[in-house]
Amino acid sequence: MLLDNYFYIEKQEKDEEDFLFLVRLNTEHPIFNGHFPGNPISPGVCNIQMIKECAERIMGCQLTLDNIKQCKFSNLIIPSSELRITISIRLQQIEGDRIKLHGIISTGDIKNTELKAEGKMIL
């Protein structure tokens, strides 16, 4: 939905249990015209979706996050071509087709979004 359109993955690596994605935003994306005019900010829901799409890439299937236990948006993400964003993801299969997901979006030392959720794999 947003990958290769709203955001691009430049690098993907694994650090012990965590998967790390280095991403950048498409500052020209129409979402930034509407959120908000003259004041572009990455919508919190797009931050959730970016975490989800990185998790889908790890799992190799689509996910539905049907239980967002908590998602904190502690710092805004203001798009710019220099902005380098890191998305770190920890996944755990809980039972059958269900997974637990912990995702953090950060820019440098700043934590922007932290998501704790459960979801189901769409196989």
Partner 1 sequence: MNKEPLYQGEKIKDLIPQREPMMMIDSYYGGNGNEGVAGLTIKDNNIFCENGMLHEPGIVEHVAQTAAAFNGYNNRISAQNGGEPHIGYIGDVKNCIINRLPNVGETIITHITLITRVLNVGLMTAETKVNDEVIATCQIKLFEKTD
Residues found near partner 1 in the complex (CB under 8 A): 1, 30-31, 33-37, 39, 41, 43-46, 48-49, 52, 64-73, 76
At its nearest, how many Å lie between partner 1 and the CB of residue 16? 28
24 vs 120 by CB, closer to partner 1: 120
Rounded distance, CA 10 to CA 7, Å? 10
Q: Is 107 left (phi over 0), alpha (psi -120 to 50) or beta?
A: beta
30 vs 60 by CB, closer to partner 1: 30
At its nearest, how many Å lie between partner 1 and the CB of residue 52? 7
Rounded distance, CA 123 to CA 120, Å? 9
1 vs 110 by CB, closer to partner 1: 1
At its nearest, how many Å lie between partner 1 and the CB of residue 30? 5
13 vs 70 by CB, closer to partner 1: 70
At its nearest, how many Å lie between partner 1 and the CB of residue 97? 15
